[in-house]
Amino acid sequence: MKALVTGANGFTGSHLVKALVRRGNSVVGLVRKSSDLTRLKDIEIELVTGDITDRNALRQVMQGVDTVFHTAAFVELGLVDAQKMERANVEGTQAVLEVAKEMEVSKMVYCSTIGIYGDTQGQVIDETFERTQEDFSSAYDSTKYEAQQLVDNYAVIGFPVVSVMPSGIFGPDDPHFGPIFKLFLQGKLKLWVGSDRITGIVHVDDLVDAMILAAEKGERGEHYIISAGELPFQKMFEILSEQTGISTPVEVPKPIVRIAGNILDPIGKLLSWNPPIGKERVHYLYDRCVRVDAKKAREKLGWQPRSVSQTLQEIVTHLQSQV
C-alpha cells in the first residue's frame, strides 16, 4: 500500500508514519515549508512541501496513493488566530477531500475529535449521539465540527471516507500533556487546576492502530470513537504518584482560577500572547464535559488498546529512562 499522511511531521502523524513504514508500506507526507521535521528523522518517507489548501501540491502528493490519512490540523485553545484555524481545519479538509475524490483514492481516514459532539454534560455517549450544544466552546471545536460535516457529506455522495474520533491523545512526546508529565517527574508540578475534570485517554500508538484498522475495515461514512477509558486528573496524578513516589500537585481553588482567566485574557490580547489560563481554558476545565464509549471500535474494527493505567505507566517509564 502507498499511503499519504497529511501533517506527517506532527505528533499523531509522525507516529502513524512510523507504524505504516514498519508494516512495509510506502509512505509520502505533505509538510509545510516551515515544518519541524525532527520527528521524521531517519524515517523512510517521501516528503512533499506544500500548503494543505494547495490543490496542485495535493495532486502531486497523491500520485499513486491508495490510502489518505488526513491528520493535519491546527490544534490550540485560548487566544488563537481563528481565520488561520479555519483555513487549516476547514479549507484544508475541503481541499484534501476534493483532490482525493478527483484522484480516485481507494480510502481516506479522517482524524476528527470527540469535540464534534459538543458538551455532553457528563453523559457517556457513543457515535449515535446527536449534538445538543447549540454554540461552540472554541474555534477549534467549531472548525473541526465544520470539517466533519464536509467529510460526512462526501461519504453520502459515495466517497470512501471514514472518521476516527480520538479523546485525549497521550504519549511521551505529546506536545500538550508531555510537558506536564516532565514537570511532575522533576518534582516541579506543585499546583494544578481542574483536578475533578474527567478526560478520555488514548495512547497515540493505539490511536494509530485504530486509524490503520479503519483503513482496512472501516465502512464508508462510519465514525469510530477512539478512547481507552477515562478518569479525573486527580486519579491520573495518583497513578503517577504510586509509580514514582512523587507527591500529587495541590489543587488551586476554582474561584482563583476563574479570576486569573478573566485577568489574563485581556493581557494576552494586549500582548499578542496566549496565556496558559484564560476564559476558554477555564470553560474546558470546569464547565464542559464530553464522555464517550469506544465499544464500536473494539467490536467493529477489532481494536485492542492498552488500558489507561498502562498508558500512563508506560509514558512515565519512558520519560524516566531519558533522564
Which residues on adjacent β-strands are paired with residue 47?
Answer: 29
Residues 6+ away with beta carbon under 8 Å from 145:
115, 116, 118, 131, 136
Instruction: Tell me the pTM.
Output: 0.96
- List the helix and strand counts (H, then E) for the chain: 12, 14
62 and 105 in contact (C-beta within 8 Å)? yes
Give the rounded distance of the alpha carbon of 100 from its chain centre: 22
SS3 content of the chain, % helix, strand, coil (to 5): 45, 15, 40
**C-alpha radius of gyration, the chain, whole number:** 20
DSSP helix/strand/coil, 241: helix
* CA atoms 147, 292, 69, 220: torsion sign: negative
pLDDT tens series, the chain, 323 aa: 899 999 999 999 999 999 999 999 999 999 988 888 999 998 999 999 999 999 999 999 999 999 999 999 999 999 999 999 999 999 999 999 999 999 999 999 999 999 999 999 989 999 999 999 999 999 999 999 999 999 999 999 999 999 999 999 999 999 989 999 999 999 999 999 999 999 999 999 999 999 999 999 999 999 999 999 999 999 999 999 999 999 999 999 999 999 999 999 999 999 999 999 999 999 999 999 999 999 999 999 999 999 999 999 999 999 998 86
Residues in the chain, total: 323
pLDDT at position 112 is 98
How far apart CA 112 and CA 120 sit, in angstroms, is 17
What pLDDT was estimated at residue 34? 87
Question: Do strands 198-203 and 229-232 pair parallel, antiparallel, or not at all (unpaired)?
Answer: antiparallel
- pLDDT (0 to 100) of residue 321: 87
Q: How far apart are CA 145 and CA 140, in angstroms?
A: 8
* Residue 33, pLDDT score: 87
Listed in order, strand segments (DSSP E) in the chain are 2-6, 26-31, 46-49, 67-70, 107-111, 124-125, 161-166, 168-170, 191-192, 198-203, 223-226, 229-232, 250-251, 291-292
| DSSP assigned state of 246 | P
DSSP conformation class of 23: T
Exposure of 4 in the CB half-sphere (CA atoms within 13 A): 30
